[in-house]
Amino acid sequence: MTKNYDFSNLRVLVVEDNNFMRLMIQRILESFEITDISIARDAYDGFEAAKSFIPDLIISDWDMEPGDGLTLLDWIRNRPDSPDKYMPIIMLTGYSESKRVLQARDFGVNEFLAKPVTAQALYTRLASVVENPRSYVRAGDFFGPDRRRKDVDGFDGDDRRSDDDIYEV
């Protein structure tokens, strides 16, 4: 069950190229008493806004021109001039196929939200960022929240993956 959170002190950057969707997300955030909201229209403007506004959270559309949400996500997670590589990012998209969800996860998104957006769905994603913060990991080219969400029954060690689990045939 989701608790009632006071989100009024959150600074949120909304990166969305569609005027109607941008306004709708802003109004939903305002209904949660979030008033410190900055707006950007693509990855380039979003990254610059993130550096100057320093949000607590980014909500970004995936499909934007000229710079898309994955580009923004990559820049936030990996560029040396990123304002905060640990910044929670919620990715919005009208395309919710599992392939896209996995791709966003593999780029380091914290939460994924399919359009059309509802106030309840957005609230649930915001609450998830609060209730279930994930550790950040670097593995090869990946940097972002730990992609493993499920607990493994019977596991009682420090490391889920170990050489003990590798068997030679």
Is the pLDDT at 163 greater than 70? The verdict is no
What is the distance between the alpha carbons of residues 96 and 65, in angstroms, rounded to a whole number? 19
Say if domain 11-147 classifies as CATH 3.40.50.2300.
yes
pTM of the model: 0.81
Whether the pLDDT of residue 96 is over 70: the answer is: yes
pLDDT at residue 60 greater than cutoff 90? yes
Q: Which helix (H) or strand (E) holds 6?
A: none
Question: Which residue has better confidence, 125 or 130?
Answer: 125
Whether the predicted pLDDT of 147 surpasses 70: no
Domain ranges of the chain: 11-147
C-alpha–C-alpha distance, residues 59 and 152, integer Å: 30
Containing 144, the helix (H) or strand (E) segment is: strand 142-145
**Region of residue 140 (phi > 0: left; psi between -120 and 50: alpha; otherwise: beta):** left
Give residue-wise pLDDT tens across range 12-22.
Answer: 999 999 999 99
- What the block records as the tokens of 116 is 């059309």
Band of residue 108 on the pLDDT scale cut at 50, 70, 90: confident
Across the chain, how many H-helices and E-strands are there? 5, 7
